[in-house]
Structures are given as C-alpha cells and as structure tokens.
Amino acid sequence: MKVILVTGGAGFIGSNFIKYFLKRNKNYIVVNMDKLTYAGNLNNLKELESSPRYHFVKGDICNNELVNYVLKKYRPCYIINFAAESHVDRSIDHPFTAADTNIIGTLTLLEGARFIWSKPGTAGNRFIQISTDEVYGSINNDTDYFTEESSLMPNSPYSASKAGADLLVRAFSKTYGVPAIITRSCNNYGPYQNIEKFIPTCITHALQDKPIPIYGDGENKREWIHVLDHCTGIIRALFYGKPGEIYNIGSGEEISNIELAKHILKYLNKPESALKMVSDRPGHDRRYAMNSYKARSNLNWSCKYSFSDGLKETIQWYKSNRSWRE
C-alpha cells in the first residue's frame, strides 16, 4: 500500500477528494491531517471512519514537530496540501491567521518533505499545492484570461497568502528539487461546502426565506467548477503532471454573482426580492477567468459536469441534507 498525506481533508474540497480518490485507487492509504477549524467537519468523512485505508490526525500544519512526526510515521509518497484559511472575508478580518496557515503551514510541509524525501527510493514522490485563480488578481474586462505565466497580483490577504505559498513551492522545487506541482482552480461548488461560502449561503438563505446578501452591484464574475471535476484535475496532475509545473484547472463557465443568485432563487421557486444589495467587499476582484488549455492538453483532463446540472444537483444536496447544514 502507498500512503498519501492529505492536509485539510475535513474541509470541502479535501473531503470530496479523499472519498473520490479512495474509491478509485484501492492500493492507497490516506492520512488526513486537519486542525478542524470552523471549516473542518469530520461528518464529511463519516463513511470512512472504520476504513483501514483511512487515518485521521488532528493537528496544525504549522506545527513543525507534529508534521515531522507524521511524515516519519507514515512515510507518504504523495503530499497534497489542501489545508488553508480559505475564506476571503475572514482573511480580511484576521490576516495573521490566513498568513500563518497558508504561508507558514505550507513552508512547514515543504521543509518536512525536503528532509523525508532526501533519502534514496523517493523517485516519483510528489507534493501538490492546491492553489487558486485568485493569486492572479482581477481582470477588469470580459475578454482576457489568466494563463499559468500571468503575473501574481493578489488583492486580498487570502489570495496574497496563497500567492506567497505558491512562491515558496516554486522556490523549494528550484532550490532543493522538491518534486512539487501547483494546481490553481477557479471557484468550486458542490456538496459539503461550508455554508459561509457564496453558493451555500444563497441556497440556505433561500430555503429559509432569508435575504441573500449580494456585494456591490453584483456584477463581479466568477468561473465555477464542480468540486469533483477539480478532484479529477488534481489526480491527473498527481499521476501525470511534471514537477515544477503549474496547471490551471478551470471550467470556462463564468457567471456574475447576481445572475447566479437569481438562478438559485428561480430553481427554488423563490422571489428575486430576496436579493439584498450590501456594501462591497474591500478590494473585491471584478472578474476571475483562466485559460486551462495546459491541463486539458498535457494532463488529458476535462470537466464532466455542466454548471447548470451541477448547480441543480448541489441545490438538491443542500435541500436533502438539512442536518448537515445545521
């Protein structure tokens, strides 16, 4: 059995990834190291509790001693770093917390990987850094796209700390030869996303007939990918990606926040009067859009979900999983 260390696996994308990966890769054990912040929820992984191929370690990726202990004990051949303070609004209120986990936590993992993988017999090992399109900053027109070569121009403490982590990953790859790959995905949606995030907020508020807050004029555009399409992109990068490379993982499906909220209201038969315009988020990026040609051509990856089908399925999931929501 090979071992993968997944960090932040009790969160939204990490928990979807672990379940998806273990179902399809029977010769792997996953060790999930998670601090269980407000965003971590072990109920996301309940079905794996008694699996011999799943181990949980409660802990902080900034804890050098614990990270080294886990690496020595389990000897993973792959490390996938999902752990992050991932909420932009929270990072605006608590920039140190975002920087600690996103930068120092990533550095701690990289340093651990550098030592544990400096021994012979580690060829083929991989460190995958799960990053975001937000590191590229904002596009102020409707036609441009970010490629992997675009400059990093982050605008929030969240995106700045993720950009900092990406640069450390690059430096560890160049300086020490750590076999690291960065994936940058657009906004994810799907089951098990924390209800503070935009789509779950729209769905849960609509279901409870509460106003749905929309920042600014609502015309900020995002590219949306189903979480399982993101997971398949990560798996393709893990098995077929080249160390030192960056892969954008986007769906090409863009929509403004206000249009998206209207779709959700329509699907749930709720009136548009539920939309409540609120003052804009400071430093709010106008548009994110990526060119993901490299992942499609070099990794032979593509999305399986259309946004409209995936969104309907996600709305149904939140409707049917009231106890999880609450």
Interaction site with ligand NAD (CB under 6 A):
7-8, 10-14, 34-37, 39-40, 60-62, 82-86, 101, 105, 130, 132, 162, 185, 187-188, 194
Bridge partners of 30, per DSSP, are: 4, 54
Length of the chain: 326
Q: Which is nearer to ligand NAD, 30 or 39 (CB)?
A: 39
Nearer to ligand NAD, 274 or 289 (CB): 289
Of 39 and 261, the one with the shorter C-beta distance to ligand NAD is 39
User: Shortest Cβ distance from residue 271 to ligand NAD (Å)?
Assistant: 28
Shortest Å distance, C-beta 88 to ligand NAD: 10
Q: What is the 3-state secondary structure (H, E, C) of 115-180?
A: HHCCCCCCCCCEEEEEEEHHHHCCCCCCCCCECCCCCCCCCCHHHHHHHHHHHHHHHHHHHHCCCE
Catalytic one among 74, 78, 136, 158? 158
In the complex, the smallest distance separating the C-beta of residue 91 from ligand NAD, rounded to whole angstroms, is: 10
- Annotated active-site residue 158? The verdict is yes
Residue 272 DSSP code? G
Read off the tokens for 5.
């260390």
* Shortest Å, Cβ 54 to ligand NAD: 15
Cα separation, 303 vs 242, in Å, equals 21
Considering the complex, state which of residue 106 and residue 173 has its C-beta at the smaller distance from ligand NAD.
106
- Give residue 319's Cα distance to chain centre: 23
φ, ψ of residue 26 in degrees (nearest 5): -75, -15
Strand locations in the chain (E): 2-7, 28-34, 54-58, 78-81, 126-132, 180-185, 187-189, 212-215, 221-226, 246-249, 254-256, 275-278
Q: Which is closer to ligand NAD, CB of 99 or CB of 274?
A: 99
The sheet with strand 254-256 has its strands ordered as 187-189, 221-226, 254-256
Least Cβ distance, residue 120 to ligand NAD (angstroms): 30
The phi and psi torsions of 178 (rounded to 5 degrees) equal -60, 125
- Residues β-bridged to residue 256: 221
124: left (phi over 0), alpha (psi -120 to 50) or beta: left
Spot the catalytic one: 34, 60, 85, 133: 133
Smallest gap from residue 171 Cβ to ligand NAD (A): 18
Select 34 or 253, whichever has its Cβ closest to ligand NAD.
Answer: 34
Q: Which residues are catalytic?
A: 133-134, 158
